[in-house]
Amino acid sequence: MPRPHNHPLRTLTTDEQNQLEHLARSHTHPAIIVARAKSLLAVANGMNFTAAAKSVGRKSGPAVSHLVARFNTHGVDALHSRHGGGYTIKYTSEQRNRILEEVRRSPDRELDGTSTWSLTTLQRALRQHPKFEQISTFTILAVMHEAGLSWQRNRTWCETGTAVRKRKHGWVVVTDPDCDAKKT
């Protein structure tokens, strides 16, 4: 006789049942989410964890057990992958806006020691503020990319998807209409 489960699957609500069935049939969602939805439906239909794992092409019954335990507490959100490691987000949105303000500010030659920003001079300028003593150039670069800025060869930041072009009647700022679609 098999051992009882430590975390048996709770009864599904009709909304959760419908969402799981929709995700199990999906061809557009990531394969891992589809497999997790199928394994949860298999457990809900009476299969044990190992059989449910094998029915979706997986090997690990304990992984299904962990998924069931997470589903019991978080619901359908448990199907999505969690943070995979690394440092947690250290800076708030207000601090990120402060970084962007500093980037958009033109540097003072006397105060900042430069006429154009580089990552290290920008880092040096930000580290003078009390909440940015440990800021890295990688963090600055990540904030810039999230804001849609890209680093150019002439050590300037430019809005991604815009370019200045010379036309017969003068200089024109051209915007790429598919810029947001290309980013994602």
- Tens digit of each residue's pLDDT (9 = 90 or more) over 34-43: 999 999 999 9
According to DSSP, the β-strands at 157-159 and 170-175 are unpaired
Q: Cα–Cα distance between 19 and 80 in angstroms, integer?
A: 13
Q: Are residues 98 and 47 in the same domain?
A: no
pTM (predicted TM-score):
0.50
Listed residues 51, 79, 107: the one ending a domain: 79
Closest CA to 16 of 82, 58, 62, 72: 72
CA proximity to 39, closest of 27, 25, 52: 52
Count of beta carbons in the 10 Å neighbourhood of residue 30? 13
Confidence of residue 1 (pLDDT cuts 50, 70, 90): very low
Q: Does residue 19 belong to any structural domain of this protein?
A: yes
- What tokens were used for 39? 């394994």
- The pLDDT assigned to 20 comes to 94
Query: What is the b/e burial string over 69-78, where b = at least 16 CB atoms within 10 angstroms of the residue's CB?
Result: bbbeeeebeb
Number of structural domains found in the chain: 2
In a domain, 108, yes or no: yes
Nearest to 66 by CA among 87, 39, 96, 45: 39
Distance, CA of 110 to CA of 113 (rounded, Å): 5
Question: Is 87 a domain residue?
Answer: no
By residue range, what is the domain housing residue 160?
93-183
Q: What is the tens place of the pLDDT at every residue in 66-112? A: 999 999 999 999 998 877 777 776 788 899 999 999 988 888 888 88
Radius of gyration of the chain from Cα atoms? 25
User: CB within 8 A of 81, min separation 6: which ones?
Assistant: 32
Listed residues 50, 79, 108: the one ending a domain: 79
Question: Is residue 24 in a domain?
Answer: yes
CA–CA gap between residue 66 and residue 56 (Å, rounded): 16
